[in-house]
Amino acid sequence: MSDDLATRLREQGLRLTPQRQLILRAVEELSHATPDEVLAHVQSQVSSVNASTVYRTLEVLEELGLVRHTHLSDRAPTYHSALEHEHVHVVCRRCQAVRSYDPAVVAPLVAALGADGFTVDVGHLTVFGECVDCSRPPVASPVAAPPPA
């Protein structure tokens, strides 16, 4: 991580700072995290890092190709390491559970759109719906027999 980060930063005329290292490590450790979640994680180690540093650093890391973002909700973007294999995100609208799937799952959609000249950014693709746990009908609680008279 650090060598790749240092090399890419130097190529852009930027320095490798402890804050940049901490923020990249936080994204890698948290897997999928909003800037606020990254900030909280980093501040648990170094309280002097502020929100603007996290936002600016995430932008730099994305420009360098070290992190990617996607939108898993209507709130802030969610960042994940670009070292992870490319994947499609699936989000349950009820419980907000996030699962990742191999791009082969959406290959027919990608092919159909490609035939029309459209190039899909699969790593940015998020599908919303309902997970298996939330789509199960509620289990009825047993009705207690009335007490004897």
Instruction: Using the 3D structure, point to which of 23, 53, 83 is the last residue of a domain.
Output: 83
Q: Please compute the mean of the pLDDT values over residues 111-127 and round it to a whole number.
A: 91
Residues 26 and 70 in one domain: yes
Residues 11 and 65 in one domain: yes
Residues 62 and 121 in one domain: no
Which pLDDT belongs to residue 53?
95
Domain extent, residue 125, equals: 85-134
Which pLDDT belongs to residue 95?
92
Residues with Cβ within 8 Å of 93's Cβ and at least 6 positions away in sequence, in order, are: 128, 129, 130
- For residue 101, the domain's CATH number is 3.30.1490.190
Residues 71 and 120 in one domain: no
- Pairing state of beta strands 78-81 and 67-70? antiparallel
Q: For 71-108, what is each residue's pLDDT tens digit?
A: 887 778 889 888 877 889 899 999 988 888 999 999 99
Residues 26 and 60 in one domain: yes
Q: For 2-55, what is each residue's pLDDT tens digit?
A: 577 788 888 888 888 899 999 999 999 998 899 999 999 999 999 999 999 999
Residues 62 and 91 in one domain: no
The 10 Å Cβ neighbour count of residue 64 is: 19
Q: What angle do CA 118, 112, 123 make, to 5 degrees?
A: 60
Q: 35-45: buried (b, 16+ CB within 10 Å) or exposed (e) per residue?
A: bebbbebbbee
* Domain total of the chain: 2
Which pLDDT belongs to residue 55?
95
Model confidence band, residue 146 (pLDDT cutoffs 50, 70, 90): low
Residues 110 and 56 in one domain: no
Q: What is the dihedral of CA 35, 37, 42, 44, to 10 degrees?
A: 150
Identify whether 146 is part of a domain. Answer: no
Residues 116 and 128 in one domain: yes
- For residue 4, the domain's CATH number is 1.10.10.10
Residues 93 and 51 in one domain: no
Identify whether 149 is part of a domain. Answer: no
Identify whether 3 is part of a domain. Answer: yes
